[in-house]
Structure 1
Amino acid sequence: RIRLDENLAVKYHAALRREMAIYRQRGYRFSGIYVGGGTPTVLIDELARTLQLAREMFPITSVSAETNPNHLTDANISVLKQAGVNRLSVGVQTFDDDLLKKIARYDKYGSGEEIAGRLSRVMGFFDTVNADMIFNFPEQTEAMLETDLATLLKLKMEQITFYPLMVSTMTQRLMQETLGEVDFSHEKRFFKQILRRLEPFYESSSAWCFSRKKAADSLIDEYVVDFDEYAGLGSGAIGFLNGVCYANTFDIQQYIGDLERDNLPLQAARKFDLPDRMRYDFLMKLFSTKMNVNDLEKKYAGKYFKPPICI
């Protein structure tokens, strides 16, 4: 997490546009863009300029962007629409006021009722509006989760992504101090509750994502499910191209400096051999909840499954 410095953010967007130009010079052509968080809409005019350039450089047909509830203003929505955004993913996390206060989002983004109101007003402006939710907060009960689910169903959200609370070793102590101990034994019960409530109205697009439209027609956060290859542009971005998984530097100053010298800001890379690529494909298809064995066999020229051994 990085505190906003507007001058640095402007330089960052300039570097990002330079990175796009380098990929274009190397012959890459992209059809879709996924703009991830933090909060990319914090300098919305810079974001719009970057998206406009991307649409001029590449045959872009779909753009997904993340935002927070406080950025759902008429002015911002207009800018995003003009910039070509098809899908807007809003970081809600929960509508429960007590939880919002504990995770320091109540003062920033408003009450659960206010957030629901903002979501209601933005529905229909984009092909898809997604609500990013979290379950298994410490002290969260089934009744609290049910209230979140009931609110989402009342809003008739076009798409809902429900992630389990994921705590890294770096944030575990802070999480315990602010929220309490995370009890992972509740995850399965909560997830079954989510499935029971959403499955009558939504189709699974991935393990966490539920779409009202046919899953095949809906953009989702997990682009690794929809695309066999993807480029990672931006600080800390991860890409997978030509069998190589790579990561850009997380250091903003290094990222900008590398691109000012016309160098890609790569931090690490690993070449996947054929078995690794097959395993990766298998995991991604499992995560998508759908797997076409015939497609995988064609992709790997009949090498995906070994013939049975008769003894």
Structure 2
Amino acid sequence: MKKLGVYIHVPFCKKKCNYCDFYSVKWDDEWETKYTEAVIHEIKSYKEMLGHKYIVDTVYFGGGTPTIIKPSNLKRILDSISLVADIDKDAEISMEANPNTLTDENLKQYRETGINRLSIGIQSLNDEILKKIGRIHNSKEALEAIDRAKKHGFENINADAMFNIPVQTTSDIEDTLTRIIERGVKHISFYSLKLEKGTPLYSMEQKNLITMPDEDEERNMYYKGRIVMEKNNLFQYEISNFAVEGFSCRHNLKYWNQEEYIGIGPSAHSFMNSIRYSNPSDLNLYCKNSIENNFNRIIQEEMNDKELMFEYIMLRLRLTEGLDAKEFKKKFNVDFNEKYSEQIKYLTDNKLIEYNESIVKLTQRGMDISNYVFEEFME
């Protein structure tokens, strides 16, 4: 049986963060009910395509704030997946969470529902920084959320941490990461803040109300954070992700391994049969269409072999284990060494990649300018 990932976008927030450009709307109970019914309808619409030919080995509730909706509705959504595909008994079932939504009662119900991995959006343990970026929790609530989750049996916990924030220092980053690690998290997603057009922080920078760290400072923050994590046995397995051995995020690895997944909910993206497609970013339209069994999915890209090869190279090089030229040949029936001999020579001569036996990896310098490296493989 082929393995499949399922991503479910929960588009509700109490308050949108100042840096966020993901699709989300303000939660209310009526919209939660409509949304839940629409999601179940959409999942059932895949019955013929999947036809129990797939086994679901990862489910990921992202957002938005998935923990804002009732645990009973999360259970109904999970139960509906088993109507269209088999679910692996060892499936990784992840859910993103804001610290102040993780109550004892909710955590108990999440465990009973089958959720076994939490991704907690901590970002920083400096309260001034949290206010600046518009988070609705404070540092005390963040640490308490980790403790509470562990008390209820969650061992597989990710913490999101952010760097490159105005007024942030390397000491802030080292302090945040050290205190998170001391709480026993097994995975950290370590992201650089990017200002997206249309967000409050973008507008503030345009008006010179905030100043972003310069490029050298941004890189220094990244290096300092990486050192703290690797000293504490959280090893880098992807450009922005670090984990204790055995705790890499299996769902996100699907993206980097170019494996198939379906996206459920407004704005969710899918990759099936070499086609990338998405749902409209409009909750009202999504609910209306879904209940009417009118799934107006937007085809983003029908990928040919050349496009699939480039994307595969780009995704695999994000991983510290790199790209295996033997696996590349199996997948595409193309000899990697012959096809990219000039690129390999140029990038190795400039110490941007390492090539040992059949494994191609980015060097640390290559990671810093990874987009430049990827562009070398474009045709």
TM-score by length of structure 1 reads: 0.90
Q: 2:127 aligns with which of 93, 97, 115?
A: 97
Instruction: Name which of structure 1's ranges 23-32 and 61-70 shifts more when overlaid on structure 2.
Output: 23-32
Aligned to 1:17: 40
- 1:141 aligns with 169
Shift of 1:283: 1.1
| Deviation at residue 77 of structure 1 after TM alignment | 0.8
Match of 1:267 among 265, 278, 298: 298
Q: In the TM superposition, what is the alpha-carbon distance from 1:223 to its structure 2 partner?
A: 4.2
Counterparts of 1:155 and 1:225 in 2: how far apart (Å)? 28
Distance 2:92 2:167 in 1: 39
Equivalent residues in 2 for 1:154-193, closer than 5 Å? 154-171=182-199, 172-174=202-204, 180-185=210-215, 186-193=217-224
**Structure 1 residue 35: deviation in Å?**
0.9
The one-letter amino acid paired with 1:38 is G
- Aligned residue identity for 2:230: E
How many pairs were matched up? 305
Bigger RCO (CA 8 Å, 6+ sep) = 2
The more displaced of 236-245 and 183-192 is 183-192
CA–CA distance in structure 2, aligned partners of residues 219 and 75 of structure 1:
27
Partner residue, 2:107 = 77
Which residue pairs with 1:235 in the alignment?
A: 266
Change (3 A) 1:96 1:59: same
Q: Which residue of 1 aligns with 2:229?
A: 198
Distance 1:88 1:177 in 2: 37
1:288, CA displacement in angstroms?
A: 2.1
Looking at structure 2, the residues matched to 176 and 113 of structure 1 have their Cα atoms a distance apart, in angstroms, of 32
Residue among 2, 27, 40 paired with 1:4: 27
Q: Does 1:297 align with 2:329?
A: yes
Counterpart of 2:213, as a letter, is D
- The answer to whether the 8 Å contact 1:244/1:271 transfers is yes
Work out whether residues 162 and 193 of structure 2, in 8 Å CA contact, stay in contact via their aligned partners in 1: yes
Q: Does the 8 Å contact 2:67/2:102 carry over to 1? A: no
CA distance in 2, matches of 1:117, 1:8: 30
* 121-130 vs 279-288, greater mean Cα deviation: 121-130
1:28-63 deviation digits (Å, cap 9, x = unpaired): 533321111111121122122211222444222221
How much has 1:118 moved relative to structure 2? 2.1
Aligned alpha-carbon RMSD (Å): 2.2
CA distance, structure 2, for counterparts of residue 179 and residue 78 of structure 1:
43
For residues 201-227 of structure 1, give each alpha carbon's deviation from its aligned partner in whole angstroms, at most 9, with x where no partner exists: 112232111111235x64365641255
Tell me: CA distance 1:144–1:156, structure 2 relative to 1, closer, same or farther (3 Å).
same
SS of structure 1 residue aligned to 2:100: helix
**CA offset digits 1:52-94 (Å, max 9, x no partner):** 2224442222211111101111111111111111211011111
**Structure 1 residues 245 and 304, CA, compared in 2 at 3 Å: closer, same or farther?**
farther
TM-score by length of 2: 0.75
Q: Which residue, out of 63, 66, 70, partners 1:40?
A: 66
CA distance in 1, matches of 2:219, 2:189: 16
Q: Is contact 1:68–1:92 with CA below 8 Å preserved after alignment?
A: yes
Q: Is the 8 Å Cα contact of residues 69 and 92 (structure 1) preserved in structure 2? A: yes
Query: Are 2:281 and 1:288 equivalent residues in the alignment?
Result: no
Residue 36 of structure 1 aligns to a residue whose secondary structure is strand
Query: Is residue 2:81 matched to residue 1:54?
Result: yes
Per-residue deviation, 1:289: 2.3
1:123 to 1:227, Cα distance in 2 relative to 1, 3 A: farther
Higher mean alpha-carbon deviation, 173-182 vs 221-230, is at: 173-182
Name the counterpart of 2:241.
Answer: 209
**What is the SS of the residue equivalent to 1:236?**
coil
Could you say if the C-alpha distance between residues 221 and 113 of structure 1 is closer, same or farther in structure 2, counting changes exceeding 3 Å? farther
Percentage identity across paired residues of the two chains: 26
Q: Return 5+ residue gaps in structure 1 as ranges.
A: none
SS at match of 1:276: helix
Which residue in the other structure is 2:361 paired with?
none
Say if 1:203 and 1:119 are closer, same or farther in 2 by CA, change over 3 A. Answer: same
Alignment CA distance shift 1:156-1:176 (3 Å): farther
Kindly indicate whether the alpha-carbon contact (under 8 Å) linking 2:93 and 2:115 is maintained by their aligned counterparts in 1. yes
Determine which structure has the larger strand proportion and give its number: 2
